[in-house]
Amino acid sequence: MERILFGDNQFFGVNHASDEKSRAQLMKFKEDDAIIKTLDDAKDLGVNSFMCTTYERVGHICEHMLKHPAKYENYHFYPCMPYAYKYANAVTELGIIGALKHYMPGNFVSSILKGGMAYLSKDYLSIMELLVDAEMKMFKGVSTPVIFLQNVITDLLLGLNAIDVLVAFHEYVQKKYQAEAGFITMNFPRLLEALEQKGITNPIICTSVNVSGFRMSGGKELYEKTLATKQCRVIAMQVFGGGILSPKKAIEYVCSLPNIESILFGASSKGNIASTVNLIQEYDAKFAHVLR
């Protein structure tokens, strides 16, 4: 994976520090052209990867890049699924059966209607595969080297001790999409232990890593110990602690840690993107001895 990944929170108004900024970002990025321009700004600064949820507008961005193959020759998408709001909105607008028909093949929906919960219970791994395929349709033709399971699902399955489903996801994206599986979580130490017990070594895990301990279940010290003693490839997200940390302090801390393969961040202006990229490069040079 690349050292720096560009995220998408700002494009649909997620700002942990300010509702006012959230509203401003929603207005700024209400048109696809604004999103594409910001991605191009990041690309100009050497950031050639976009880690994004699978909401519909990402499909428009994929279409744009496919129309300009030379410009985006080495560009990568990192899909994160499922986009829960998409399904919630579909249920609200179409009803449960309507939403299933919209996202699932017709024969599958008919089988559910005939077999009910018995069918669902028997074939839940097939359901997972169908949902992955539905989410991946918009990325046909673009590079997707890692496909992520969102923390809302990862941590639910972790809490239910349904680790076999995580293993099945891991195996399916390798087989079907020749990609690696990634897992987003708010409980990095526990997830890593569970995956290792099932034989998944050196997994790709995206998790909160910041000097304030923001959204780090189990505490910052446990995360630091796990990073120092375990084999894994970690993508650090929420490195600014929800927007409360100074950029220098935040980036210095993350760059000083071992096993942080990539740093994920989002920004809405070229100046802010450049500032963060420069800080990562500065502190990477300072901590060049740290194991990546």
Q: pLDDT for 51-88, tens place per residue?
A: 999 988 999 999 999 999 999 999 999 999 987 666 55
Domains parsed from the chain with CATH numbers: 4-84+143-286 (3.20.20.70)
What Rg, from alpha-carbon coordinates, does the chain have?
19
pLDDT of 200: 97
Mean of pLDDT over the chain: 88
Q: Tell me the pLDDT tens digit for each residue of 201-222.
A: 999 999 999 999 999 999 999 9
Q: Give the burial class of 69: count Cβ atoms within 10 A of its Cβ; 0-12 exposed, 13-18 middle, 19 or more buried.
A: exposed
How does residue 97 score in pLDDT terms, banded at 50, 70 and 90?
Answer: low
Q: Which runs of consecutive H residues, i.e. helices, occur in 104-237?
A: 106-122, 124-136, 151-159, 163-177, 188-197, 220-229
pLDDT of 292 over the 90 cut = no
Q: Is pLDDT of 95 > 70?
A: no
SS3 content of the chain, % helix, strand, coil (to 5): 55, 15, 30
Render pLDDT for 251-280 as a digit per residue (tens, 0 to 9). Answer: 999 999 999 999 999 999 999 999 999 999
Q: How far apart are CA 264 and CA 251, in angstroms?
A: 11
**Structure confidence at residue 109 as a pLDDT band (50, 70, 90):** very low
How far apart are the C-alpha atoms of 206 and 53, rounded to whole Å? 13
The yes-or-no verdict on residue 47 having pLDDT over 90 is yes
Q: What percent of the chain has pLDDT over 90?
A: 70
Alpha carbon 216 to its chain's center: 16
Q: Look up residue 81 and give its two tokens.
A: 């699924």
Q: Are 219 and 209 in contact (CB under 8 A)?
A: no
Contact 205, 182 (CB under 8 A): yes
Partner residues linked to 235 by β-bridges: 206, 262
Query: One-letter amino acid identity for 235?
Result: I
